[in-house]
Amino acid sequence: MEQLNELSPTSGPLDSSAGTPDVPVKAVPGSVPPPAPSSAAAATKTTTAQIVLIALGMIAFLYFARPVVLPVVLACAAGMTLKPLIRWLSYCHIPPAISAAVVLCLLMAAAGVGFFQLGRPALTWMNEAPQHMTELRQRVQKSFPRIARISQAAAAVNNLGATEEEQKMAPTVELKDSRGASALINWTGSLLAGMGEALVVLYLLLASGDLFLQKLVHVMPTLSDKKRAVEISHEIQQNISNYLFSVSFINIVLGALVGAVLYFMGVPNAAMWGMFVAVLNFVPYFGPVAGIILLATLGLLTFDSLWKGLLPPAWYLLLHLFEANLITPVLLGRRFTLNPVVIFVSLIFWTWLWGVPGALLSVPILVSIKVVCDHVPTMSSVSELLTS
C-alpha cells in the first residue's frame, strides 16, 4: 500500500468536481455521431436576405431608370425578332449594316404610312369625343329606361333645397389654367426621344451581327459554359422571334377580319378600328376586354337599335375565343404554354413598372426566363413553376 501511495502521490478520493483528462471518445459502431455545430442555417438566412435585397434593388433600378432601360429592352426584343431576317439576308451576301438599314427603312415607311392613313381619323374621333359621349349617354338612357330614372332621381336629390331660379340657371363653366398641355408636350417629347433611342440601338444590334455573342463566349471560363451560352442565346432568339412573328400574324389577321366585318356592317373608319383591335390583342387578358368595350361603344354610337349595336363586340368576342383556344395553341405549341397565373401576375407587374410597353413585353420576358431556366439545372424548379 505504501508503494502504491508513493507511485501515485497526487491521487485522492474521487470527486465530481475534479478535472478529467481529455480522452478521445471512440464512436460505437453503428451509432450516429452527434451533429457538429455549424453556421449553415445562418448562411441560408443571409443568402435569402441578400437575394431579397438584390431583387428589390433591381425593381427600384428598373422603375427609376426606365427612360434609359426601356428603349434598350424594346430594341433587344425587336432585334431578336428581326435577327433571322438579317441572317437570311446575309446568306444573300448582303452586309449586316446594309441589311439592318434596309429593314429599318421599310419598317419606318410602313409605320409612317399607317400613321398618316389611320391616324387622321383617330385624331378626328378624339376631337369629337365629348359629343360622342353625350350621344352614347342618351342612347344608353333610351335603351335602358331604368338607368334614365336612376339618373333623374340622382339629379333630383342634388337639387334638394335649391330654388326654382337656381335650378333653371344654366351651369357656368370656369376655365382654369392647367398643366395638361405642358404635360402632354413633355410626354410626347419623351416618347419621341425614347423611340429614337430604341431605333438607334436596334440598328446597332442588327448591324453588329453576332459580335455580342462572340464576346460572351470569349468571356466564359470553360468549354461547357461556352456551349451553354451559345445554346441559350440561340434558343432565346429563336423562341422570341417565333413567338412575336406568330402573335403578330395572328393579330393582323384578327384585326383584318374585324375591320372587314365592320366595313360590311356600315361602320365608318372600319380599318382604323381593326388596327386598334389588332394592337390591343397583343396585351393578354386586358387587351381583349378593352377591345370589346371599344367596339360596344362604337356599335351603340353607330346603330340605333340595341341588338345591332352589340353585333361588333359579339363578332370580336367570337373571333377572339376561336383564336385563343384553337389557333394560338396550334401555331405556338407546347413551347410557349405558360402558366396563366404567372402570365397574369407578370402582366400586372410589368404594366405597373413600365406602362403599356411593359404590358407588351411581359410575355416575351417570361419566355426568355423560361429558356434560361430550362438550361440551368439549379433553376429547374422555376421552369416547372412557369409551365402550365
Sign, Cα dihedral of 95, 101, 104, 105:
negative
User: Are 295 and 312 spatial neighbours (Cβ–Cβ below 8 Å)?
Assistant: yes
Q: What was the pLDDT predicted at 5?
A: 46
Q: What was the pLDDT predicted at 292?
A: 92
Q: At what angle do helices 311-322 and 223-265 cross, to 10 degrees?
A: 150
Closest CA to 298 of 149, 181, 133: 133
Q: Residue 152: how many CB atoms within 10 A of its CB?
A: 11
Q: What was the pLDDT predicted at 11?
A: 43
Closest CA to 368 of 254, 236, 268: 236
Closest CA to 75 of 84, 83, 86: 83
**Chain-centre distance for alpha carbon 340:** 13
Q: From CA 79, how far away is CA 85, in angstroms rounded?
A: 10
What is the Cα gyration radius of the chain? 34
Closest CA to 294 of 14, 283, 155: 283
* Domain range list for the chain: 65-123+192-209, 238-331
Q: What was the pLDDT predicted at 317?
A: 92
Q: What was the pLDDT predicted at 142?
A: 67
Length reported for the chain: 388
DSSP string covering 227-292: HHHHHHHHHHHHHHHHHHHHHHHHHHHHHHHHHHHHHHHT-TTHHHHHHHHHHHTTSTTHHHHHHH
Q: State the pTM of this model.
A: 0.69
Vertex 242 angle, CA 240 and 274, to 5°: 100
Q: Give how far Cα 284 sits from Cα of 281, 297, 337, Å.
A: 7, 21, 13
Q: What was the pLDDT predicted at 366?
A: 86
Say which DSSP state 218 is in. Answer: H
Q: From CA 268, how far away is CA 303, in angstroms rounded?
A: 11
Q: Which residue has the cell 419621341?
A: 192
Rounded mean pLDDT for each run of 10 residues along the chain, 388 residues in total: 44 44 50 52 64 87 88 87 84 86 89 78 74 71 60 55 53 49 64 83 84 72 77 79 85 92 88 88 88 88 82 91 84 71 88 87 85 78 79
Sign, Cα dihedral of 282, 287, 288, 291:
negative
Q: What was the pLDDT predicted at 314?
A: 92
User: Are 342 and 373 spatial neighbours (Cβ–Cβ below 8 Å)?
Assistant: no
Q: What was the pLDDT predicted at 335?
A: 59
User: Are 285 and 299 spatial neighbours (Cβ–Cβ below 8 Å)?
Assistant: no
Closest CA to 246 of 151, 335, 308, 178: 335
Q: From CA 217, how far away is CA 212, in angstroms rounded?
A: 9
User: Are 55 and 178 spatial neighbours (Cβ–Cβ below 8 Å)?
Assistant: no
Q: What was the pLDDT predicted at 46?
A: 59
Q: What was the pLDDT predicted at 253?
A: 92
Q: What was the pLDDT predicted at 23?
A: 47
| Intra-chain end-to-end CA distance of the chain, in Å | 87
